[in-house]
Structure 1
């Protein structure tokens, strides 16, 4: 585990950057031209960035970006033997 000390201004900047990245990913995830495999990778990235974003914001703020499980399930490929 790593630690990070940020000033108030740096923390606000990090919050802003993470929020913009989440919004960009949401936009890309809604694009029907993007392949399912790519969307699955984007969904994994979204979840990682969302977890970081939660550390910088209040519950009220991060609840706007919660993605429900059914969004990511549709990108999974089924494997049958």
Structure 2
């Protein structure tokens, strides 16, 4: 495990970057045109970034990005 110290400005920037990344991945996961393997890779990355964000974000903010683990099926 690694530790890092951030000042308040850096914490706000990290919060912003992680939220934007989560937003982008949620958008990509909702795109039914993407291949199943790609969607799985995005879902795994989402889980990692979400856990990073959850370490310091308020619970109200965390709930906005919580998602169930069910990946919608791609219609063929």
| TM exceeding 0.5 | yes
RMSD between aligned residues: 1.5
TM-score (norm 1): 0.85
- 2:44 counterpart of 1:44: yes
Is the CA contact 1:25–1:46 (under 8 Å) kept in the aligned structure 2? yes
Gaps of 5+ in 2: none
Give 1 or 2: higher helix fraction: 1
TM-score (norm 2): 0.90
Query: 2-side partners of 1:61 and 1:6: how far apart?
Result: 20
Deviations 1:4-27 (A, max 9, x none): 000011001000000000000000
Gaps of 5+ in 1: 76-81
Is the CA contact 1:15–1:57 (under 8 Å) kept in the aligned structure 2? yes
**Partner of residue 23, structure 2:** 23
Divergent runs of 4+, >6 A: none
**Partner of residue 2, structure 2:** 2
